[in-house]
Amino acid sequence: MIRCVIVDDEFLARERLKKLLAEHSDFEVVAEAKNGELGVEVIKIKAPDVVFLDIQMPDLDGFGVINNLDKVPHIVFTTAYDHYALKAFDVHALDYLLKPFDEDRLSDTLELVRDRIASDQSSLLASQMKSLLKTFDESKGKFRRSFLIKEKGFENEVMVEEVIYMEAQGNYVKLVTEKKDYLYRIGMNVLESELDPMHFMRIHRTYILSKQWIEKQSYQGNNEFKFTLRNGAVLNSSRSFKKHIAEHSTDH
């Protein structure tokens, strides 16, 4: 729905425009104002998509309304005086309706409004998507993506998403995957700091779990939890990690 505000000091002009807009189901008049000062107020409150704005009004003219707005919506000027046309487009008005305009002329304007709003929404969506992708790329660069395992003179890259859980074993960590287990030399505290907390959770000084592999999580009392993983492994948390688990886990 395209939200509209009408600002015009002539009552009959406002009523006629509302009647014409009612014929277009995707346009909704959310407010109207009988002068420029009230127009500024309702535009700030309602934040419409488009304003049908008379230019010549006694207290504050259409250009004055625009000058008093922090955020200017799309503007369609409506006026009986064609000598304002050039100035109207100088302030980037979307269109200029010369009174008395007919239904066909208004329909052309509304089509222009639709196209511009659709273009704005497309640009906003593209901008949001670009920002999301940038955040995702930054996140990927921030956290560990793989482990380079050296075995019998060969190097094997194990991606973090392959790991079901990790278990501390002295100066090493055992990486448990569906295919096999690997030993990787690293401390658990260092490893935890390198893993994305959106996907991994430490439940014990000995264990870090992949959240996507948790099948069931149940409270055992005494601030301890039991985690059943999809590969059949059952691991218990320690009391000291209760707060950490509450902050990072989801119900399963």
What are the tens digits of pLDDT across the range 44-65?
999 999 999 998 888 899 989 9
Nearest alpha-carbon partner for 147 in 167, 118, 121, 173: 173
**Contact between 50 and 42 (Cβ < 8 Å):** no
Cα R_g (the chain), whole angstroms: 32
List, by residue range, all CATH 2.40.50.1020 domains of the chain.
Answer: 146-248
For the domain made up of 2-135, the CATH class stated in words is: alpha beta
Please tell me the distance from the alpha carbon of residue 34 to that of residue 129, in angstroms, as a whole number: 41
pLDDT in tens, 75-87: 999 988 766 555 5
In this prediction the pTM is: 0.51
**CATH fit for domain 146-248, picks 2.40.50.1020, 2.30.110.10, 2.60.120.20, 3.90.850.10:** 2.40.50.1020
Please tell me the distance from the alpha carbon of residue 130 to that of residue 116, in angstroms, as a whole number: 21
Please tell me the distance from the alpha carbon of residue 109 to that of residue 127, in angstroms, as a whole number: 27
